[in-house]
Structure 1
Amino acid sequence: MKAIDTGMGVAFLRAYGMLYPKEKRLFEDPYCEKLLTPFYKFFLFLMRSPKIFDFIMKLEKKSTPGKTGWLLCRVRYIDDVLKDNIKKVKTVVNLGSGMDCRAYYIPGIERVRYFEVDHPKVIKKKKVKMKKILGKLPDHVTYVPVDFEKQNLGIELKKAGYNLTSKTLFILEGVTQYISKEANDNTMKCVAQAAPGSKIVFTYILKSFIEGKNIHKGIETMYKWMVKGFKMWIYGLDPKDISDYLSKYNLSLIEDIGSREMKERYMKKVNLGLDVFEAERIVLAEVINN
């Protein structure tokens, strides 16, 4: 997994979302553009032209329909979950944080202990960039370098100062499909040890998509690129099995939603009308008493 490459790509799509007029934006991220490499900044500069922007959107609709729409919706969804829970938790653990800037722009976030967890190369690059943007790294953020495939997440979090008795919100956005079943299971085992009332919000790719089943014309390009070609997406889940899957890790399902719900909740609200990728879903769950 090229962690820095994928993280920068998501930061670009966030910045892309900020090009919409304020009344059509699903979120406000003042830092995403500042994190971009010169290549992405140049491409974003070109997209400020309405003609080029429209051309790119039409191109995406033909090749990878719903990619941008889904990402914008999932960012908004997780922002909302964080805002709704910020006074209910003492800690946020962002697993695979990449170039995500929620630790810096969510109102009141400085009141919680915030752990950004990602591959060592990503964490190193992120710290340099955020220090340059902010002047100094904020006291409430702790950066935790972890290779999900090789290191024990629980041990590394504990070494970084994470307290298991602290009620926590875990964020796992756009990560599960990139890591093995074993790494996913180990991540969930770590979450299961958190204080009752802790929550996790995570995204997942449909197992059927990873297996190459029901690949209709609209999403076949994404399948050819991410699963068959680059072999970057390697793990998926079946929505029918989500409740049972969560119960193995002391988790109770709150909701599991996909493209239909995202369109209804968010796209209609801002009258954006973008397609929303159908092969990824998002789950909100709560840690229950043993």
Structure 2
Amino acid sequence: MAVARARAHHQIADEPRVFTDPLAVRIVGEAAIGASEFERGIDQDLARRRRLFIAARSRFADDVVAAAVARGTNQVVVLGAGLDTSAYRNTHENVRFFEVDHPDTQQWKRRRLAEAEIAVPPSLTFAPIDFEESTLAAGLAAAGLDRSSDALFVWLGVVMYLTRASIDDTLRYIAGHGAAAEVVFDYLYPPSSAPHDVAADDRQARADRVAAVGEPWLSFFTAEEIRDALLSFGFTRIEDRTATELLSAYGVGAAARPANSVPHLVHAGTV
């Protein structure tokens, strides 16, 4: 919900707008915008920068999806979908979307969709998976993902909450897709590698906030570690951008910060 609020708040508060989502405010509800407990008591400029990065990574994922669809990809898998709206903004009837999430989370989302009068398109398939009882492979097979057809996996705001073993299993599964596969995901550098400054203190404060609600950050990587892991699993094309680089590409000026002190966004493919 905190991330969805950030996407919604971006629609009405930020200029330039880097990500346009006409459903963002509806799925969150206007009364909930700006009410996140994760934003209380923190510097407003920091909140804005975080909001802009969340918007930029969604914009980047949308751009990657559009390019993949133009090349003929007709399957998009959103891992840890939460309140993501990309499947509901899809205008290509021949492109299938799969949303993967915990069954309880999906039931909550479907209630919010109904309350917001956002229709579930026929091109979307929900893939509820409890990873304590099943696997990504089994869940997507049951949902009807065609392993012989190209697929793009969107995996935003999730990697840092998983163990290294879970991350490796997911990347290995994607790389082993029978046809061409692509993935977009973000990650964080190890806290010890970043300079100790105000930004580091702010990041630690956020880590403490999410840990307090039972969602601690578990995994961190350097760019070299991510690249080595992706290559070992069979990815051959790897693009790694810092938050600063991404925002700059979308016309948002940002103070230069070390690459090991900001989030990174990766786009990788097997061909």
TM-score normalized by the length of structure 1: 0.80
Residue in structure 1 matching 2:225, options 231, 235, 241: 241
Residue in structure 2 matching 1:75, options 58, 65, 78: 58
Counterpart in the other structure of 1:50: none
Secondary structure of 1:14 counterpart = helix
Report the aligned-residue RMSD.
2.8
Give structure 1 stretches of 5+ with no counterpart.
Answer: 1-7, 45-55
Counterpart in the other structure of 1:30: 22
**Identity of paired residues, percent?**
26
Counterpart in the other structure of 1:220: 201
Aligned equivalents of 2:33, 2:53: Cα separation in 1: 22
Secondary structure of 2:121 counterpart = coil
Aligned-residue offset at 1:95: 0.3
Secondary structure of 1:77 counterpart = helix
Q: Aligned in 2, Cα 1:42/1:283: closer, same or farther, shift over 3 Å?
A: closer
Letter in 1 for 2:176: Q
Contact 1:189 1:249 in 2 (8 A): yes
Letter in 2 for 1:27: F
Residue in structure 1 matching 2:7, options 2, 6, 14: 14
Counterpart in the other structure of 1:105: 89
Letter in 2 for 1:173: L
Aligned equivalents of 1:42, 1:279: Cα separation in 2: 23
| Alignment deviations for residues 132-189 of structure 1 (CA, whole Å, 9 cap, x no partner) | 4346421110111123465311111101111111200100001000111121111112
> How many aligned residue pairs are there?
261
TM-score normalized by the length of structure 2: 0.85
Aligned-residue offset at 1:275: 6.2
Aligned equivalents of 1:116, 1:217: Cα separation in 2: 37
Q: Aligned in 2, Cα 1:177/1:222: closer, same or farther, shift over 3 Å?
A: same
Give structure 2 stretches of 5+ with no counterpart.
Answer: none
Contact 1:253 1:283 in 2 (8 A): no
Aligned-residue offset at 1:217: 1.7
Contact 2:102 2:129 in 1 (8 A): yes
Residue in structure 2 matching 1:91, options 48, 68, 75: 75
After the TM superposition, which residues 45-64 of structure 1 pair with which residues of structure 2 at under 5 Å, given as runs? Answer: 59-61=43-45
Aligned equivalents of 2:48, 2:119: Cα separation in 1: 39
2:124 aligned with 1:141, yes or no? yes
Aligned-residue offset at 1:259: 2.4
Q: Aligned in 2, Cα 1:237/1:149: closer, same or farther, shift over 3 Å?
A: farther
Contact 1:142 1:160 in 2 (8 A): yes
Aligned-residue offset at 1:283: 0.6
